[in-house]
Amino acid sequence: MQKIIIKTGRTYPALAAQLGDFEDWIERELGDAPGEWRVVDVQRGETLPPVADCAGAVLTGSPAMVSDYEDWSVSTAAWLREAVQGNVPLLGICYGHQLLADALGGQVGYHPQGPEAGVVDIRLLPEAEQDPLLAGLPAAFPAAVIHWQSVTALPPGAVRLAANDFEANHAFRIGSAWGVQFHPEFDTAAMAAYLSHLAPALQASGTTAEVLHQPLRPTPHAAGLLQRFARLLAHQAA
């Protein structure tokens, strides 16, 4: 049975040359041995394995927009629907979170207040207290965010797990799938690099200089979500 990282995009070349790419950051935080996770680059046309051969998957973020419905994204959404029907554990991050929601009957679009960027506080909702992935996390914790689009409506049957004043749907679960709008794989260096690289675009969208130059905080509880997911898969395989 394969554990896979579904690569839905790549970071900017200048950042990748210095820090690596999304899958590198995800593998670092998963904490598993090198090679335990296979990367499938769906944005470049690589084929996902049969759902029956998959023990679990993490979906990366992407500079792409879910609402553009590119062919690779649409075909990945079909695979995700089959994976949820097959009870395969999934964890979608940012774009992956939005793609899961859209694939399963929710709605995704541009946030009316513009992008959310930097390190923000995430609040768990009461439904998270018994959730297999989020239970035991602090009631509020810092996490890295950078997104223009949001899940504007959850899929039917989804459980909302986390929010903040900007983003109503920072985390949800539906069946075997979880989505998180924030980035558990971002460390402080990655978040700082994103704020610097995207400063002109963020300013043009109304982001204040205070946000762009905010003192960044470590995000250990958010990062720990990936190890929690790895442990969940290990428990299921035992």
| Residues 6 or more apart in contact with residue 219 via CB below 8 angstroms | 119, 141, 142, 143, 144, 184, 186, 187, 188
Structure tokens at 83: 């994976």
Q: What are the percentages of helix, strand and coil residues in the chain, rounded to 5?
A: 40, 25, 35
Contacts of 76 (CB under 8 A, 6+ apart): 6, 8, 42, 48, 99, 103
> Annotated active-site positions, please?
94, 183, 185
Q: What is the largest CA-CA distance in the chain?
A: 50
Is residue 87 left, alpha or beta, with left meaning phi > 0 and alpha meaning psi from -120 to 50? Answer: left
The whole-angstrom separation of Cα 157 and Cα 168 is 16
The C-alpha R_g of the chain, in whole angstroms, comes to 16
